[in-house]
Amino acid sequence: MSQTRHVPVMLQRCLDLLAPALEVTGPKPPVVVDCTLGLGGHSEALLAAFPEARLVALDRDKEALRLSGERLAPYGDRATLVHAVYDELPEVLGRLGIPKVQGVLFDLGVSSMQLDEADRGFAYAQDAPLDMRMDQTTGIGAAEVLNTYPPGELVRILRAYGEEKQAKRIVSAIVREREKEPFTNSARLVELIRDSLPQAVKRTGGNPAKRTFQALRIEVNGELTVLERAVPAAVQSLAVGGRIAVLSYHSLEDRLVKQVFAAGAANTAPPGLPVVPERYQPRLKLLTRGAELPTEEEVAENRRAAPARLRGAQRIREEER
């Protein structure tokens, strides 16, 4: 079941970006980290494409780990699956005794499985309990955020994480309704958003609840906070010559990745130095011109690929001690 419904996004392009670092032969097998295992589509392709490579794969969702564990079982001890959030990468590599890796892949956002399992509450298209936790063993769900956060905080979240222009209007309606009865299910929230928006807004840009659901999901899972730590940590874990590829699905994620890569690829020397000392030289080389988009053919085959943005970089220098 999981294999048929899950189509990895921009798969061949991700493999091509990472290939030069993973085809290198040496005394030890190259290590590639899939920071967002999900249902294991990218991981399986990495193991198949690079038969020498060893895979370390992280996911905070125990059900994803169980399903992908079955999928990757044929690869035996070449695959190490770890229950962890991706900003825990340095600790995970430390425990495994891996000082540096040759490749890192992030496929951000919600996995297909989480969207497809109705009872997780990620999808606005079907009624479900408002949970949205990627790791259901920890933290608070979306219903608690809606029912307990002060109005100003809810407005901030919808604006910052959902880029929702109608945040104030939606939050006013939420606050009014939660006083009558706390929110528990997604259908009531979708209906409330629909009812609170002007006609003109509802005519454009797909489901009007989309941005609010995105904002709640990011808040519940601390996604941007985690990503802010995770991308620099992943760059840090790359050996010289190692490569990183990151798939983002909204502008907030993509902007963050872009900033980390741009900072790594910049010369940080004070202006006017005749010779730039080693410590000011760029640590990264950008492998993509801006963000690459999926092809029209891929979007036609897999609509979830439509918002994807891919950026890649290569480690070209060690940190100065």
Query: How remote is the C-alpha of 273 from its chain's centroid?
Result: 39
Closest CA to 219 of 300, 175, 161, 292: 161
Residues 186 and 125: beta-carbon distance below 8 Å:
no
Show me where the domains of the chain are located: 2-113+223-315, 118-221
Q: Is the pLDDT of residue 32 over 70?
A: yes
Closest CA to 238 of 6, 4, 18, 78: 18
Query: When comparing pLDDT for 56 and 221, which is higher?
Result: 56
Query: When comparing pLDDT for 19 and 60, which is higher?
Result: 19
pLDDT in tens, 228-285: 999 999 999 999 999 999 999 988 999 999 999 999 999 888 888 888 888 889 999 9
Section 37-62 average pLDDT: 95
Decide yes or no: CATH 1.10.150.170 for domain 118-221. Answer: yes
Residues 243 and 21: beta-carbon distance below 8 Å:
yes
- β-bridge partners, 103: 32, 243
Known binding residues for S-adenosyl-L-methionine are 40-42, 59, 86, 107, 114
Q: Is the pLDDT of residue 4 over 50?
A: no
Determine the angle formed by the axes of helices 11-22 and 41-49, rounding to 10 degrees: 40
Per-residue pLDDT band at 1 (split at 50, 70, 90): very low
d(CA 188, CA 119) in angstroms, rounded, equals 15
Residues 25 and 229: beta-carbon distance below 8 Å:
no
The confidence score (pLDDT) of residue 24 equals 78
Q: Is the pLDDT of residue 205 over 70?
A: no
Q: What distances in angstroms separate CA 87 from CA 142, 158, 273, 310, 321, one per listed residue?
A: 22, 24, 36, 19, 23
For residue 56, give the H/E element and its range.
strand 54-59
What are the structure tokens assigned to 193, written together? 């958003």
Closest CA to 234 of 261, 253, 254: 261
Section 58-70 average pLDDT: 92
Q: Do the domains 2-113+223-315 and 118-221 sit in the same CATH topology, yes or no? A: no
What are the structure tokens assigned to 174, written together? 């939420």
d(CA 34, CA 111) in angstroms, rounded, equals 13
Q: Is the pLDDT of residue 122 over 50?
A: yes
pLDDT in tens, 301-312: 988 889 999 999
Known binding residues are 40-42, 59, 86, 107, 114
Per-residue pLDDT band at 300 (split at 50, 70, 90): very high
Give, rounded to a whole angstrom, the gap between the first and last alpha carbons of the chain.
49
Q: Is the pLDDT of residue 111 over 60?
A: no
pLDDT in tens, 69-105: 999 999 999 999 999 999 999 999 999 999 999 999 9
d(CA 109, CA 161) in angstroms, rounded, equals 12
Q: What distances in angstroms separate CA 4 from CA 7, 113, 169, 244, 252, one per listed residue?
A: 8, 11, 41, 27, 30
Of 46-55, 162-171, 195-204, 252-261, least confident by mean pLDDT is 195-204
Percent of the chain exceeding pLDDT 90 equals 67
* Amino acid code (one letter) for 288: T
Per-residue pLDDT band at 126 (split at 50, 70, 90): confident
Residue 272's Cβ-count burial label (10 Å; 0-12, 13-18, 19+) is exposed
Q: Is the pLDDT of residue 3 over 70?
A: no
Per-residue pLDDT band at 118 (split at 50, 70, 90): low
Residue 232's Cβ-count burial label (10 Å; 0-12, 13-18, 19+) is middle
Residues 29 and 52: beta-carbon distance below 8 Å:
yes
What are the structure tokens assigned to 321, written together? 């001690």
Per-residue pLDDT band at 216 (split at 50, 70, 90): very high
Q: Is the pLDDT of residue 22 over 50?
A: yes
CATH superfamily of 2-113+223-315: Vaccinia Virus protein VP39 (3.40.50.150)
What are the structure tokens assigned to 197, written together? 């928006």
Section 29-40 average pLDDT: 95
Q: What's the whole-number average pLDDT of the chain? A: 89
The confidence score (pLDDT) of residue 6 equals 62
The confidence score (pLDDT) of residue 2 equals 36
The confidence score (pLDDT) of residue 144 equals 95
Per-residue pLDDT band at 119 (split at 50, 70, 90): low
